[in-house]
Structure 1
Amino acid sequence: MTNNKTSVTYDAQDLWQKDRNHFIHPFTDFSLFHEKGCDLITNSEGIYVEDVRGNRFIDGIAGLWCVNVGHGRAEIGQAMADQATRMAYFSTFNNLSNAPATELAAKLAELAPSHLNHVFYSCGGSTANDATIRLVHYYFNRLGKPTKKHILSRNNAYHGTTYMAASLTGIASNNWEFDTLDHLVTHLSEANCYRRPEAMTEAEYCDHLVDELESAIERIGSDNIAAFIAEPIMGAGGVLMAPQGYHARMQAVCRANHILYIADEVVTGFGRLGHFFASEAVFDTQPDIINVAKGLSSGYAPLGATLISDELYAVLSTPQGLGGVLSTGFTYSGHPVSCAAALKNIEIIEREGICENVRDVGPYLERKLKTLAVHETVGDIRGSHFMMAIENVADKTTKELLPVEARVGDRVAAEAQKRGLIIRPVGHLSIISPPLIWSRQVVDEVVAILDEAFAATTLSLKADGYL
């Protein structure tokens, strides 16, 4: 892998000050930000990133679940540059199109489950989910079923932060003092095997969750419910793995009640679980819609897409009447530079066997991470392949959590970063979602760092009276 990047020198203090004074970051913790500001990442290559002061780290979060092929891929940059100088942008509204968007739509149809042959572009995961719900409502309006508006989501689901997507999101803290469209969404229980009722087997827990869906449909009425949306594995909500057979059974209930099944594969798509799409290959489901973003372009350019079934397209593509159009979309739908990046990204994934690498190294990562269970705060180690989480607890037997003010996730992340590894703290969780090019040797190095980080965290928690 080559990276012919131009060296840029920054004044570290000046850049830090400008960032603190002017940049409103997503998910900023303002109780810390005004004093500490942000760590500024200025360079990257392969599995490594470098901060403004020259400190080098293993990237354990793939930027944010998305840099699947690794950093600094010169050929993706070149594909973007070539497209930008040939034609950076032109509208895709009405009767206009461009070559990269067209080629990418055909490639996605080739890679996706066979019934998903139509692509609606957006700018990222949140907008993909927002656009999907608008299209779903339009679909049922066109069928003469205008009451089918309600969406079933799940507690601790993460579907984005635009207005509708935030309403679908079931992480309570995400929406503190923000408004949501509660009249359109009902949240069912998350599928959390670690915290299922003690008396239940995994199979009984699956029955319980399916029963809950059926009860919700009976209560709300199937004539009022448009769709159920689910991540194959919950991401930001805790990397929660559903019990065996859950997704297929939930889809079967939806089908029986004429409710669409939407798979949010913004995180799981493009190799994170060892396949371009996880829904069918891993979870034996055939969604009516799959939403993607993140790994679609490996984060090299903003891009989202909604993959729509032939059955839905047959309705969406029927003219409303003379002069009627599908009046939704974005200025940057099918942006040619972003689509060029995605095409090159997919080419790299296929050419280098990156999905095969995940299927080989992923189970090894799972096994090695489980050795961290010896640490006093490690309650659960879960996930699949290159999508993993460690849940930190105060007591392994009761699964009681540490107080919020202990900031256990932040402590583990800080200790790891001191040792050259960036992981993602989410409350009491430590999340690992690396570039998909990690080797077994890198896994060994990462787990050794985490071993030291958890040991140091335990000592600091005890010193501060939390354990």
Structure 2
Amino acid sequence: MTAHGSELAQRDIAHHLHPQTNLRLHEQVGPLLIERGEGIYVFDEQGQRFIEGMSGLWCATLGFSQPRLAEVAYSQMLKLPYQQTFAHRSHGPAADLAAELIAHAPAGLDKVVFQSSGSEAIDTAIKFVRYYHTAIGKPGKSRLIARQRSYHGTTLAASSLTGLPNMHKGWGEPLADVIHVRCPHLYRQGLPGETEADFSERLAKELEQTILEAGPETIGAFFAEPVMGTGGVILPPAGYFAKVQAVLRKYDILMIADEVICGFGRTGHYWGSQAVGIEPDMLTCAKGLSAAFQPISALLVSDRVYQVIADQSQALGGLGHGYTYGGHPVAAAVALETLRMYDELDIVSHVREVAPAFQAGIQALASHPLVGEARGIGLMAALEFVADKEARTSFPAEVKIAQQVSNVLQRDGILLRALGDTLVMAPPLIIDADQIQTILKALAQALDEVQAGMRP
């Protein structure tokens, strides 16, 4: 019996509404039902083994079998399964996790507030931007700038920041207070002969012009992923963030780093901000914070911003914000143990050790007839497919070229993610050199098979 024909699959089709899914298509094809995990592998209900080459959704950084994290969760559930952090309450796991995060944080970030998801962390950052500017007598600075092809979450506010059209279609207009500027993708947005430095300079000038046209007195913050993940693993061109931040400082605009995907070693640095030169006023993190063993996120805040927020909370009689499960003791305990494991494993050094072979293998695929651009950093990478390499022409949408390659890989035991014309990959950070070569070999074979199937 196939997984799609099992009783469990039929129950799923009948009753489970899947996010980020064509729901009618799901009724026809059903789910791939994953039953268990082991290291970087997951197994479906029929026992087929897959390399989980996307770490789930960028998040299972330590793989799918860490008894140490499970034991911490169980122990905390027995000791204290829940406690709020509102109104002068706290508990050991939240206090210790806050201290540990700040010990690892980029310079200048001194306070932490907890939530349960990356989207909630982004929403909290948006509210803090408004709260901060109102407190310093500039309540008009409520508008936000993000980039085209950015991904910041799926709540109403976070999805409005997100610069992917499919996240807006059918939901009505995004919040009017968000402005999207050009995606920093040289391959698609660069002019003929334009260098990375020239491209960065042009984008900074375009940003400043956008700010001037909108009115600097209306812009509160600029939100950016160090490396754009769901948008297709887009790396910023050389000098980009230095030039962008110079513009932001000129007009008193806060810099918010969205590290939900990039944080905790993914780029070969503890924070993606360190890889690309961001000096954030606030920083969001989630996913790798607990290695996906528990839902938890954090917003890290600079002392400069915190002092203003603290004074305003006193003036107003309290900070009118918070989530029931923010700083949940079980999630916090697991996250704290995750950070300890990162240190003990020296996960950043491990990523730096294995990433060069991974990136070299990805770059070698750039010569394949289907590949327009191969790109990546650390243990995240993407292949963008084109119908014509010279003209950089995309395939018609109905060809679903990336999905074709993904389907072949899934058949052969490798799970990667198709996003439009791009195939993205982000394996667990514990992956070893041999497992990387397994992915690269399967990927090359899948490209050849798909190309052969397209010939007249």
Give SS of 2:176's match: helix
Match for residue 79 of structure 2? 86
Mapped to 2, the partners of 1:64 and 1:395 lie a distance apart of: 30
Write out aligned runs for 1:26-45 (5 A): 26-45=19-38
- Percent identity, aligned pairs only, is 37
**How far apart, in 2, do the equivalents of 1:379 and 1:253 lie?**
32
Q: Which residue of 1 aligns with 2:202?
A: 208
Superposition map of 1:246-395 within 5 A:
246-279=240-273, 281-321=274-314, 324-395=317-388
Q: Supply the distance in 1 between the matched residues of 2:201 and 2:136 (Cα, whole angstroms).
A: 32
Distance in 2 (alpha carbons) for counterparts of 1:45 and 1:169? 33
Runs of 4+ in 1 over 4 A off after TM superposition: 319-323
* 1:12–1:53 Cα contact (<8 Å) kept: no
1:427 pairs with 2:420: yes
Q: Deviation digits for residues 346-370 of structure 1, max 9, x if unmatched? A: 1111101111011111121000112
Query: Are the aligned partners of 1:88 and 1:336 in contact in 2 as well (CA < 8 Å)?
Result: yes
Write the distance in 1 (CA, Å) between the matches of 2:115 and 2:438. Answer: 38
Equivalent residue for 1:163, pick from 153, 156, 159: 156
CA–CA distance in 1 between the matches of 2:413 and 2:314? 61
Distance, in Å, in 1 between the alignment partners of 2:304 and 2:452 is: 58
How many Å apart are 1:90 and its aligned residue?
1.3
**Residue type at the aligned position of 2:397:** V
> Does 198-207 or 377-386 show the bigger shift?
198-207
- 1:367/1:440 CA distance change after superposition, 3 Å: same
Q: 1:163·1:180 contact (CA, 8 Å) conserved in 2?
A: no
Q: 1:170 Cα deviation (Å)? A: 0.4
Q: Which amino acid aligns with 1:234?
A: M
- Point out the more displaced range, 63-72 or 197-206: 197-206
Aligned to 1:6: none
Offset at residue 276 of structure 1 (A): 2.0
> Which residue pairs with 1:192 in the alignment?
185
Retained in 2: the 8 A contact 1:164–1:180? no
Give the Cα separation in 2 of the matches to 1:168 and 1:235. Answer: 14
Shift of 1:320: 4.4
The CA distance in 1 between the partners of 2:271 and 2:366, in whole Å, is: 30
Greater CA deviation, 355-364 or 192-201? 192-201
AA aligned to 1:241 is L
Q: Is the 8 A contact 2:135 2:312 kept in 1?
A: no
How far did residue 323 of structure 1 move? Answer: 6.7
Change (3 A) 1:402 1:233: same
Aligned equivalents of 2:252, 2:231: Cα separation in 1: 28
Aligned residues: 453
Q: Which residue of 1 aligns with 2:58?
A: 65
Deviations 1:293-325 (A, max 9, x none): 001111111011100000000011115457711
Judge conservation of contact 2:379–2:426 (CA < 8 Å) in 1: yes
1:312-345 per-residue CA deviation (whole Å, 9 max, x = no partner) reads 0001111545771101010001011111111111
Shift of 1:120: 1.0
Question: Aligned partners of 1:126, 1:168: CA distance in 2, in Å?
Answer: 10
Matched position secondary structure for 2:57: helix
**Contact map agreement 1:12 1:52 (CA 8 A) in 2:** no
TM-score, normalization by structure 1: 0.95
User: Any unmatched runs of 5+ in structure 2?
Assistant: none
Q: TM-score scaled to structure 2, two decimals? A: 0.97
Aligned to 2:311, the other structure's residue is in SS state coil
- Distance in 2 between the 1:31 and 1:459 partners? 30
TM-superposed deviation, 1:270: 0.6
1:318 alignment partner, SS class: helix
Distance 1:74 1:180, change over 3 A: farther
